[in-house]
């Protein structure tokens, strides 16, 4: 639970960021049709023009009288968008919380050997901690099952991980 609690806020912000990112992509990816009308045009005619422009966005086609002035405005963006930066930041933070390392999430152009060795060591420590947590949980479960099903002082079975590398080295 504690591990996932550190991911809660990045996950919330990421989901909120996606909502606005999708809206932004819609606005950025679709040209904005602008219809011009002469001053003094009836409200009904203006509503009709707006309706046709909306249909044009949905259907990507339009048939308009030659008296209507229509232009398409296109949005331009360069570089990484703020929404994209937010989503990438949240992904990195959640990844660091779960894997306890940054090498695979943050070093984009290449990493150093020292960083790789440090992360490999940290990964091994995390694996040992995970194994210990699982072993403790299994052993507690076995103790309960033994206590419920076998009266008296019966020792419960125990669970432990066997390190394959250590076993292979001992055999040599």
Q: 115 and 157, same structural domain?
A: yes
Q: DSSP code of 32?
A: E
Tell whether 106 is covered by a domain: no
Examine the fold and report which residue of 35, 59, 91 is the final residue of a domain before the chain moves on.
Answer: 91
Range of the domain at 162: 111-171
Whole-model pTM: value is 0.40
Q: 79 and 17, same structural domain?
A: yes
| pLDDT (0 to 100) of residue 22 | 76
| pLDDT (0 to 100) of residue 122 | 64
**What confidence tier does 114 reach under pLDDT thresholds 50, 70, 90?**
low
| Spatial distance between the Cα atoms of 140 and 132, rounded to a whole number of angstroms | 12
Judged by average pLDDT, the poorest of 12-16, 17-21, 121-125 is 121-125
Q: 84 and 9, same structural domain?
A: yes
| Residue 28: both structure tokens together | 């950025």
| Spatial distance between the Cα atoms of 33 and 60, rounded to a whole number of angstroms | 10
Q: 76 and 13, same structural domain?
A: yes
Q: How would DSSP label each residue in 33-87? A: EEEE--TT--HHHHHHHHHHHHHHHHHS-----TTSEEEEE-----SS-HHHHHH
Tell whether 104 is covered by a domain: no
Q: 79 and 42, same structural domain?
A: yes
Please give the tally of structural domains in the chain: 2
Q: 138 and 77, same structural domain?
A: no
Q: 12 and 69, same structural domain?
A: yes
Q: 119 and 40, same structural domain?
A: no
| pLDDT (0 to 100) of residue 110 | 57
CA angle 51, 38, 50 (to 5 degrees): 10
């Amino acid at each position: 639970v504690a591990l996932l609690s550190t991911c809660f806020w990045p996950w919330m912000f990421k989901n909120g960021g996606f909502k606005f990112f999708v809206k932004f992509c819609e606005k950025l990816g679709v040209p904005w049709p602008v219809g011009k009308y002469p001053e003094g045009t009836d409200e009904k005619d203006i509503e009709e023009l707006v309706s046709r422009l909306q249909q044009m966005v949905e259907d990507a086609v339009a048939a308009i009288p030659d008296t209507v002035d229509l232009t398409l405005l296109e949005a331009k963006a360069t570089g990484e968008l703020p929404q994209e930066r937010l989503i990438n930041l949240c992904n990195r933070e959640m990844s660091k919380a779960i894997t306890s390392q940054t090498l695979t999430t943050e070093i984009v152009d290449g990493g150093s050997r020292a960083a790789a060795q440090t992360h490999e060591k940290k990964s091994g420590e995390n694996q040992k901690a995970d194994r210990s947590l699982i072993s403790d949980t299994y052993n507690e479960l076995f103790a309960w099952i033994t206590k419920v099903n076998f009266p008296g002082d019966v020792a419960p079975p125990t669970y432990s991980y066997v390190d394959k590398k250590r076993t292979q080295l001992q055999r040599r």
